[in-house]
Amino acid sequence: MTVTPLEHRIKARIRLDGPMSVFDFMGTCLGDPEHGYYMAREPFGAGGDFVTAPEVSQMFGEVIGAFLVETWERLGRPAPFQLVEFGPGRGTLMADLLRVARRAPAFVAAARLGLVETSPRLRARQAATLAGGPLSPTWYAAAEEIPAGPLIAVANEFFDALPIRQFERAGDAWRERMVGLDGEGRLVMGLGATALPGAGLPERLAAAEDGAIVEVSPVGVAIMAGLARRIAAEGGVLLAIDYGYSGPAFGDTFQAVRSHTPVEALERPGEADLTAHVDFTALGAAARGAGAAVHGPVEQGDFLLSLGLAERAGRLGADKDEATRADIVGQVERLVGPDEMGSLFKVMAVTRPGVALPGLAPTFPLSDTRSRP
């Protein structure tokens, strides 16, 4: 089997420094400046490795846009404010969102568009997608770079791509899972010397069976805490949408996808998307600890339907032929179906305490927005 350039580099590092944590392996595979997955590949869409909700249907971004405009109204119409997307992909979600938001000129006039993206290649793709739109974006490498002021932000499939640490129960200790080399020089998973301290462990960890795995996302928790602290102080909302669960839970969710097919996570580093399911309980705890209020999580299907997705689909297909209407129905099913994205994906929002968010169909209408060209 052909060895990727990044695999050569990872193996050389392991030979020199010893096994690397899952955290370091995941971060290297996704973010290496030269050979990292998001730096060197086109991950999105039918021709890539996976399809996100904005790529499934324009209706996803339109509903999110209506939600954010309605939320801006409820926040007292702050002006100016930072309109930010974390992990904007090809810019599809933001383009659909802004197409709806243009019908609220005061929202657009007050918005300062920012995109948190580290990949130069994806930044260029986002610029092309948003060219000619109502707002010109500024790119940031990290949340800390976003200018001060009220923040209205969306993070769709962002937290799942942040590196995780894994610990496995081995006898009386929880040892960190590491990536090393076997006798034939192949990448393999094993256990390292680093262990969670035995004293003071939560009861659920102390009672776990041998071989149980627990995952933590230190970067995700830190980002959430920082954003929540800012929102509590300066106002705004963060809408996080991702596949995940309400913890605590045991299990190995570290996974890889290439060409829309699950593959071994250690196979061909840099050429597959690596993700892990998001622990929304941990994110919510981080936000509350920073002084913010947490709304949800709720299932994506319930969220989108409560905000008028079905009605939008009906309007979008009203003057279309039968084949197009059938395609729209299929898009809705993909977004909200319990066996599709509807149940697996969760939605959580963070605001200042005392802010009420739209829970039913928003007052901001969708009926007159056009289809994508």
**CA–CA dist 297, 245 (Å, integer):** 9
pLDDT recorded at residue 43:
63
- Domain 39-163+216-351, classified CATH 3.40.50.1000, yes or no: no
Amino acid, single-letter form, for residue 65: G
CB 7 within 8 A of CB 270: yes
pLDDT recorded at residue 367:
46
pLDDT recorded at residue 362:
34
**CA–CA dist 12, 16 (Å, integer):** 6
**CA–CA dist 67, 239 (Å, integer):** 10
Task: Give the rounded distance of the alpha carbon of 370 from its chain centre.
Answer: 27
pLDDT recorded at residue 14:
97
What parts of the chain have a pLDDT lower than 70?
Answer: 1, 40-50, 197-203, 359-373
Handedness of CA 313, 314, 317, 319 (dihedral sign): negative
The tokens of 10 are what?
Answer: 């990872």
Q: Cβ-count burial of 210 within 10 angstroms (0-12 exposed, 13-18 middle, 19+ buried)?
A: exposed
pLDDT recorded at residue 50:
64
Residue 87 neighbours by CB under 8 Å, 6+ apart? 116, 117, 155, 156, 157, 158, 161
pLDDT digits (tens, 9 = 90+) for 303-325: 999 999 999 899 888 888 999 99
**CA–CA dist 307, 358 (Å, integer):** 8
CB 157 within 8 A of CB 30: no
Place of tokens 């974006």: 137
- Stated as kind and residue range, the H or E segment containing 276 is none
**CA–CA dist 114, 137 (Å, integer):** 5
Q: Are strands 111-116 and 138-140 parallel, antiparallel or unpaired?
A: parallel
pTM of the model: 0.91
In the chain, what are the domain boundaries? Answer: 39-163+216-351
pLDDT digits (tens, 9 = 90+) for 6-65: 999 999 999 999 999 999 999 999 999 888 888 866 666 555 556 899 999 999 999 999
